[in-house]
Homo-oligomer: A and B are copies of this chain.
Amino acid sequence: MPLSKRIETAMGQALSLSQDPLAPRKLASALHYATSPGGARIRPTILLSVAMSCGDDRPALASSAAAALELIHCASLVHDDLPCFDNADLRRGKPSLHRAYSEPLAVLAGDSLIILAFEVLARAIPDHPDRAAQLLLSLTHRSGMPGGICAGQGWESEAKIDLSAYHRSKTAALFIAATEMGAIAAGHAPEEWHDLGALIGEAFQVADDLRDALLDEQTLGKPTGQDDLHGRPNAVAQLGVKGALDRLSQILAGAIASIPSCPGEAALARMVSHQAEKIMPSVPAKYRV
């Protein structure tokens, strides 16, 4: 089964747990809206790729882990789009959830998706108590406080930001969860997979910074983007466009080099390169060498 099919099947099974003819219809529909059609499903793709590199001896467990991680990611997008955060009108080419439904339903949909993620993993405990416990703890650590994506968002309310903690928790945390949980689901130690997730997360951050700067430059004819506007730390502001492009290449090379020795090492390196191509912004001619 191709990875994308495997992820959508797992997402469908997870969502079905939240549906019932006796449930409030709008909230039930909002949960579907928040999770489909999916974006690139990058985090569950990385999770399953790592699981496969580690032998994927419990494929149903790995698929559940992939769905749980993606549910947390979808929940974070719904809450991040709320008026009190990004106040975003659009998400994945359609109205954001609070625009399409309402703000109360967006808060509740996010809450429900978080809870659903843990239900999916809790159901795996009877068959795989040790691995399920580790999966649950990896996911809680990488999503909550003090070091998960909630902490990452929380940094934006501080007068003085610890930049390294900010990036590690805001962007990298769910990529670290992806590599850790992929390893755990296949019975491997998560520790040696930490750096791959952290480096992929860092690459995403720099690619995002480049998109933010270049998109604005191309469309508005000036080099200031959203990060600049909000005074947010940004690799382009620090290093310039060429410097940030170099940094991105270095990080990706480091990510590939960090892959632990395993049967699927070469396939995993290809996956990382493939994901990197997808996130690389199109660069105006003047920056090309």
Instruction: Identify the A interface with B (CB < 8 A).
Output: 18-20, 22-28, 31, 75, 79, 82, 84-85, 101-105, 107-108, 110-112, 114-116, 118-119, 122-123, 125-126, 129-130, 132-133, 136-137, 140-141, 143-148, 150-151, 153-158, 162, 165
Residues of B within 8 A of A23 (CB): 145-147, 151, 154, 165
Contact for A157 among B22, B102, B130, B151, CB less than 8 A: B102
Is B25's CB under 8 angstroms from A158's CB?
A: yes
- Residues of the B chain whose Cβ atoms lie less than 8 Å from the Cβ of A119: 136-137, 140-141, 144
Q: Hey, which chain B residues are within 8 Å of A110, CB to CB?
A: 111
Q: Are A114 and B116 in contact, with the CB atoms below 8 A?
A: no
User: A151 is contacted by which of B24, B102, B148, B162 (Cβ under 8 Å)?
Assistant: B24
Closest to A84 in B: B103
Closest B residue by C-beta to A135? B122
Indicate if the CB atoms of A26 and B114 lie closer than 8 Å: no
A24 to B162, CA, bound (A): 8
CA distance A111 to B125 in the complex (A): 23
Task: Known A-B contacts: A19-B145, A84-B107, A118-B136. Give 19 more (CB < 8 A).
Answer: A18-B145, A24-B154, A24-B157, A26-B157, A75-B111, A82-B107, A84-B104, A85-B104, A105-B154, A105-B157, A111-B111, A114-B114, A115-B145, A115-B150, A116-B140, A119-B136, A122-B137, A125-B132, A136-B136
When A and B form their complex, which 6 residue pairs have the shortest distance between CB atoms, in order from nearest?
A: A23-B146, A115-B144, A27-B154, A20-B146, A122-B136, A125-B133
